[in-house]
Amino acid sequence: MSASRPIKKVVLAYSGGLDTSVILKWLQDKYDAEVVTFTADLGQGEELEPARQKAEAAGVSEIYIEDLREEFVRDYVYPMVRANAVYEGLYLLGTSIARPLISKRLVDIAHATGADAVAHGATGKGNDQVRFELGVYALDPDLKVIAPWREWELTSRTKLIEYAEANGIEVPTDKRGEAPFSVDANLWHTSSEGKMLEDPSEEAFEIVYQRTGRPEDAPDEAEYVTVGFERGDAVSLNGEALSPATILTRLNELGRVHGIGRLDLVENRFVGMKSRGIYETPGGTILMSAHRGIEQITMDRGAAHLKDELMPRYAKLLYEGFWFSPEREMLQAAIDASQEFVSGEVRLKLFKGRADVVGRSSENSLYSLEHVTFEEDDVYDQKDAEGFIRLNALRLQLLAKRKRKLGVNN
């Protein structure tokens, strides 16, 4: 859109917290614009009705509060699980995967209300500003994105509170001091960063962990759970067919009890700096382990190895905010094609922080007991291995002879 075009209406990603409440008022003052609020329930575990009340008190007439838990798990989490996506070998991308859906709904609501712009509360140091804005621009290049933290003069918590008090915005008691750390949450995970967690040499205090009990305090007896899959997606628990969000909710509870899914990570942000985060992904850790388990018996070696080679690229695209890019969609098509026969059941043992696969079964299994048995069989001639080895050794032998001829030591 033209830079000179006035902004008359803005859709704000609104949590009802102090920051976005200040942003709401700031947008009204700065742009003399009508503000539409959008609050998404992605399973963060918070009551959302107070957000409506705060928006109404601020004079907002168009308020969107949406339960997106099923859509979030079905259309975003599950495709990511099919890819076994893990960033930098450890991170299960809990914050990253929530941003595309929020961006999509911001754009949808902007279209529905005739808004000229959307706004978010992400800071200028983090990844989320990139994820939100890449998502919005991919879906509507003409919408303007307003990022107050990159524009305003409220550069400290003190100034933020002063602005709130001057404009009649309620400041909760726990927001008047420096918050010990910040938290982002959804049905897939929680992420805690900043303040008392900024020194990576110091172990995180137990108060940081909100979704998992200490593994040391978990039950002394293991619990078993069976996850059923169809075409790479979880469809049942212990034989009971359930919706995607219900499955993840129940797995989260199992993970909480058994202390599963804790991660202390120093990661490389897209914007260039390193950051330390404490992540909890209890149900997600169980689900990812189960998905790997069903793939082990249903996927061909070549397809499985190629998929593992594609995964880091896919995970990086998610982390950096390129969910709506053509390359992510291309990779997704390949990944989804690989899941045609990934159906069956996986049994896991949950015990003191671990989710171990202990059983797998599928009508599509490629596992052949006849071929792998140590007993006598009629399907495999062990003499065939000699020619196989000789052919694979040929180039190594030629290389060794050349080294010997040239006097090169190994």
Q: Which two tokens stand for residue 317?
A: 């695209």
Q: Which two tokens stand for residue 260?
A: 């599963």
Q: Which of 15, 19, 21, 82 is catalytic?
A: 19
Task: Please say if 99 is a catalytic residue.
Answer: yes
Q: Which of 41, 116, 128, 233 is catalytic?
A: 128
Task: Please say if 182 is a catalytic residue.
Answer: yes
Judged on CB neighbours under 10 Å (0-12, 13-18, 19+), 187 is buried
Dist CA 332 CA 326 (whole Å): 10
Task: Please say if 128 is a catalytic residue.
Answer: yes
Q: Which of 108, 182, 236, 377 is catalytic?
A: 182
Q: Which of 82, 99, 211, 328 is catalytic?
A: 99
Query: What Å distances lie between residue 112 and 8, 141, 259, 289, CA to CA?
Result: 14, 16, 43, 40
At residue 271, what is the residue type?
V
* Secondary-structure percent of the chain, ordered helix, strand, coil, rounded to 5: 45, 20, 35
Cβ atoms of 101 and 40 closer than 8 Å: yes
Cα three-residue angle 198-200-204, rounded to 5 degrees: 80
Beta strands in 89-222 (DSSP E): 117-119, 144-146, 182-185, 190-193
Task: Please say if 19 is a catalytic residue.
Answer: yes
Dist CA 187 CA 191 (whole Å): 12
Which strands make up the sheet holding 262-268, listed edge to edge?
182-185, 190-193, 274-280, 262-268
How many Å from the N-terminal Cα to the C-terminal Cα in the chain? 64
Catalytic residues: 19, 99, 128, 182
